[in-house]
Amino acid sequence: MALGRIKNWAKFQHFKDRRPPWIKLYRDILDDRQWHQLDGEAAKCLVMIWLIASEDSGQIPALGDLAFRLRKSDQELESIVTRLSHWVERSDNALISTCYQVDAPETETETEVETELPNLSDERLDVPASGNSVTDADMQDGSNGPEIADRKRCPTAEIVALYHAELSDLPRVEKITDARAGYIRQRWLQDLPTLDAWRNYFADVRRSKFLMGLAPGRDGKPPFRADLEWLTKPSNFAKVSEGKYHR
């Protein structure tokens, strides 16, 4: 199954034959903010993905095949492709496996720990930011428009990959439990409805020495480091968003 396709391929590339010896690179990229925000490795991979996509009218091969062509591991490539959403349109079933496991828990002070777990049957997890409930009928007939249907599908694996890419110094997610998936979904529906919003949130986290484990620990304890579960719990998310940890 193809990983996806290059956005607007037919608009910008007009080759009659597959596997052309060259592709078009438009000068507009000089003023493309998304391009300039890429690191060198991601930009290099994007150019190579464009070349590979030219072999099949803009279609991108499956993740494993693409990883082999680019001499990357599946996990490395998944992390990079997550940052290329401006150019790459993913297939719905092209997500990496969500079978992860978690690092050893970090030491936190009593006031830093969030202990409540989300109720996965809570109706709040099925309510868009507007507060209007979404019924099964809405999802089946699309009567409320594609926006609600898109919001309903939380890209959990992509969010985890984005966390790994943007906050590589924090503990990796090795297992997505029901509780963790519930927190991520809750934030997606209530606070961070796009991958760009998640990217901005992670960038905000990266600016906090405390959250990144760069502040001295208290009473001889090791420094605190946030992880994805901690960052997505409701009251922790509110404190981060309000700048409590950005002194």
What local confidence, expressed as pLDDT, does residue 1 receive?
60
Alpha helices, DSSP H, located in the chain: 9-12, 33-36, 40-53, 63-69, 74-82, 136-141, 146-152, 156-166, 178-190, 195-206, 228-232, 234-241
Would you state the structure tokens that stand for residue 30, as one six-digit string?
């000089």
Based on DSSP, count helices (H) and strands (E) in the chain, helices before strands. 12, 3
**Mean pLDDT split into 10-residue runs, the chain, 247 residues:** 69 67 78 84 89 84 87 85 82 39 35 40 35 38 46 86 93 90 92 93 93 88 93 93 86
Q: Give just the sign of the alpha carbon dihedral 164, 194, 99, 48.
A: negative
What local confidence, expressed as pLDDT, does residue 150 receive?
57
Judge whether 71 and 93 are in contact, CB under 8 Å.
no
Rounded to two decimals, the pTM is 0.44
